Structure formats: C-alpha cells, structure tokens
C-alpha cells in the first residue's frame, strides 16, 4: 500500500510570493491534516479536511488555506509568504470518520521543506 | 484536550530497555493515549495507542495505570536506530485530525 506522498519535497520562495503544496493520502483515507514544523514552535496543527470539507482549523492566519478534492487529495496554499513561514510542512492522512468511540492513527508524509528568502 | 508532560531528553545504551513516562492529569473519559516517533526531517510515525491497562505490539509496550493520569512507553532492547524524538499525545475519540504535539522526548541511544 503506497504511503502518503507530498510534492514538492523542497521549495524555495521569496517573501511576498505565494505557494501551493500538494498531498496525496493513502488510498481509502478520507481525512487529511496539515501541520507546520519549525525548530522554535515544534509541530503545529494547521487544518483538517474530511470529504472535501474543512472540519477543524488551527491557530494560523488567513494566509494559510487549503482544500480537498473528491479523490481526497489535498492542497495547502500560503499567500504573501513571510520569512517565518520557512518550515517543514507535513501532511497526514487517516481513516478517521469522526466516530467518538474511536481514534485512528495518522500516517504522515515525508513533508515539504519550504524556505522563504 | 489534556496537556502532556514528558522529559525533554533521555540517554540510553544499545540493548537496554527504555521507559519514557508521560503525565496527562486532565485526561477525559473518551481520550486515547498515543505515541509517535519522529526522525530528523521525516514525518512522525505512529508507534502505539491505548486506552487503559497494557497494550503491546511488535515495537513497543504501553502501560496505563487505572487512573490514566500517566502512561509509560517501553522500548525493549533499543538500538542506535531508535534514536529519535518520541511524542506522547492525548487524542479525543473521534478526533478531527488535530493532533496536539508537545515538545517530545529526544532519545539518544549510544553504542
């Protein structure tokens, strides 16, 4: 079974530009979550999509947005890039259906390393 | 969600058993305890999850006392490749994909 894939793996952008990152979840997984990891703040939750709907959102500015397609693939967009957006962006997929009686493990991709100069 | 507290770092030697304890005093009835492992420049990897008592899989054991206010991840006979950061998380049942990661425990295994 193929794992979570993220493209591109590395990206260099300039301040003020915008960027789109892509994530393909494991086949059959309908939940896709995005995380940002920096040395200073650690791993922080950005948002989660399930069946093309954003179900949960972390504490990030509106410059960070995402979407999910009918095949569960997801994209994350960051507009007006700032130096502080340099980070490893991780995508995770899960079979999570939202049933309160269960908790499903998340499978993480290798991440996209974004550098903003 | 309950906040977790775990040691910042731990050192061990190859072949030893390593126990990492995590406290989560405010855990709720429908919360699960989950541990993830992360190597540098890689995404976290699920290790084990439990609700109460003891859970064991091919890589680790998870011990959870009756009050569930703490948990201990046990790694038997660690090797150099187990050097990584280990995160203890409390997940709400039916959680909507928003894992809350703390600082984690950086485990260093020496030869």
Minimal C-alpha gap between B30 and chain A (Å):
7
State whether residue B83 sits within 8 Å of chain A by CB: no
> CB-based contact (8 Å) between A76 and chain B?
no
Beta strands in A3-116 (DSSP E): 5-7, 10-13, 19-24, 31-38, 42-50, 53-57, 64-68, 74-78, 87-94, 107-108, 112-116
Given a contact cutoff of 8 angstroms between Cβ atoms, the answer to whether B71 and B2 are in contact is: no
Nearest to A33 among B49, B91, B97 (CB): B97
- Report the pLDDT averaged over residues B28-45: 92
The more confidently predicted of residues B30 and A96 is: B30
| Mean per-residue pLDDT pooled into runs of 10, chain A (117 residues) | 92 98 94 93 92 91 97 97 97 75 80 97
Q: Express the helix, strand and coil content of chain B in percent, nearest 5 each.
A: 5, 50, 50
In tens, the pLDDT along B60-77 reads 999 999 999 999 999 999
pLDDT at B16: 97
Decide the pairing of beta strands A87-94 and A74-78: unpaired
Subunit contact B97:A96, Cβ cutoff 8 A: yes
The answer on pLDDT for B2 being more than 80 is no
Q: pLDDT value at position B92?
A: 77
CA B85, CA B70: separation in Å to the nearest integer? 19
User: Is the Cβ of A48 closer than 8 Å to some Cβ of chain B?
Assistant: yes
Query: Number of CB pairs < 8 Å for A and B?
Result: 85
């Amino acid at each position: 079974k193929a794992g979570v894939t993220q493209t591109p793996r590395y990206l260099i952008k300039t301040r003020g530009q915008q960027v789109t990152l892509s994530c393909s979840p494991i086949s059959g997984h309908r939940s896709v979550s995005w995380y940002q990891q920096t040395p200073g703040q650690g791993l922080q939750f950005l948002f989660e999509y399930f069946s093309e709907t954003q179900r949960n959102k972390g504490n990030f500015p509106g410059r960070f947005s995402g979407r999910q397609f009918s095949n569960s693939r997801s994209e994350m967009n960051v507009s007006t890039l700032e130096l502080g957006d340099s980070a490893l962006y991780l995508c995770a997929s899960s079979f999570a259906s939202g049933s309160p009686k269960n908790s499903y493990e998340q499978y993480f991709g290798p991440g996209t390393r974004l550098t903003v100069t | 969600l309950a906040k977790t507290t775990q040691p910042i770092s731990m050192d061990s030697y190859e072949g030893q058993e390593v126990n990492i304890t995590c406290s989560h005093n405010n855990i709720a009835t429908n919360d699960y305890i989950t541990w993830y492992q992360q190597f540098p420049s890689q995404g976290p990897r699920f290790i084990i999850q439990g609700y109460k008592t003891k859970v064991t899989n091919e890589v680790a054991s998870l011990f959870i006392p009756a009050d569930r206010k703490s948990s201990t991840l046990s790694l038997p006979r660690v090797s150099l490749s187990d050097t990584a950061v280990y995160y203890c998380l409390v997940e709400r049942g039916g959680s909507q994909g928003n894992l809350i990661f703390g600082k984690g425990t950086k485990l260093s295994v020496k030869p």
